[in-house]
Amino acid sequence: MGVLPDLREVQSAESYAARRNDLAFWAPWARQGLKSLGFPQPATFRIPGESTNPVLVGDNGIVVKLYGEYWCGPASLRCESEAYEVLAGRGLPVPQLLGRGELLRDSPGWRWPFLVLSEVTGQSWRQAVAEADRATELELAAQVGTLLGRLREVPLTGTEILCPDSAAFRDVLRERREKTVADHRAWGYLSPRLLDAVDDFLPDVDDMLGGVTPEFVHGDLHGENLFVDAERTALTGLVDFNDVYAGDFRYGLVQLHLDTFRADRELLATALRHANWPVSAGFVEEMLVYTFLHDFEVFEATPLDLREITDLTELAQVLWEVGRPSSSIAW
């Protein structure tokens, strides 16, 4: 395999960011990792796109995902490892965990852990639906909803993140409640006048979660993490379990709707029906709360100019109104 690239080049968050999607840098290390575990070598690797962690997809259907000590790498490894254990054997369209190892097993410092996964088929939602007709897009949204319904039924058998008494979800909501107004002011998607009212609008996190039964939540359902085959009108995969929680189903809808569905409320309504999620009388307000408490820059891919909206009720309706309420679900 020749001389391996020097991992000592990655000594900071900045140097990691510069290298994280560098195929030439990571491919020799991916081969080394596969060799250490006895896996067959692909003829070629490719980088599937921008990602937080280095991901290399082999032409033999084997995926290597590496975890650095920066950009939340240790937390991502814990989440993904636990998610694949919890999801194993459920018959869901997610990668299989084939193996795990460390690139630098004898190192006194960061050992560069990695997972070996199976590849999912198809194209990312974002690629596939760009040329799909409306009927295909609606049918794929229905299948996404069915998948979300199945995820809700997954037993939370994890030991740290995906267990019923995990504090991870509550902790991230509390952190976001403290930071959300400042972050949204910096991002600039919303009116400053509207943001003045957000602190009073957001409920206490403990009150929010008091009546919520924890369920499996994928918190990053964006358009590059869902895979489909548009020609067969089939949902083929869900990847990237860095941001999973034992939490509230509604949290996962934020990225799905505002990123993947690009705020298309008909697609959202279709997914909700097939997830067997009843739209409550307070749904739009509840979803606006989770919009502000979500851990990402959620309006980045939303094709709506929201800067002239100064009323929170109007914003909630513009984003989340999906039809007549069928039941009432309180916080």
**Greatest Cα pair distance in the chain:** 64
Residue 259 in tokens: 């990123």
SS3 string of 23-77? HHHHHHHHHHHHHHHCCCCCCCEECCCCCCCCEEEECCCEEEEECCCCCCHHHHH
For residue 123, list its beta bridge partners.
228
Residues comprising the chain, all counted: 331
Three-state SS at 100 = strand
Task: State the burial class of residue 7 (Cβ atoms within 10 Å of its Cβ: 0-12, 13-18, 19+).
Answer: middle
129: which DSSP letter?
Answer: G
Instruction: Kindly write down the DSSP assignment for every residue of 149-170, as one continuous string.
Output: HHHHTS----SSSSSTT--HHH
Instruction: Kindly write down the DSSP assignment for every residue of 181-238, as one continuous string.
Output: HHHHHHH--S-HHHHTTHHHHSPPHHHHHTTPPPEEEES---TTTEEEETTTTEEEEE
248 is catalytic: no
Please, what is the angle between helix 134-152 and helix 265-274, to 10°? 40
Residue 44 one-letter amino acid? T
196, 220, 259, 311: the catalytic one is: 220
253, 252, 234: which is closest to 243 by C-alpha? Answer: 252
- Provide the CA 208 distance to its chain's centre, in angstroms: 22
Please identify every residue annotated as catalytic.
Answer: 220
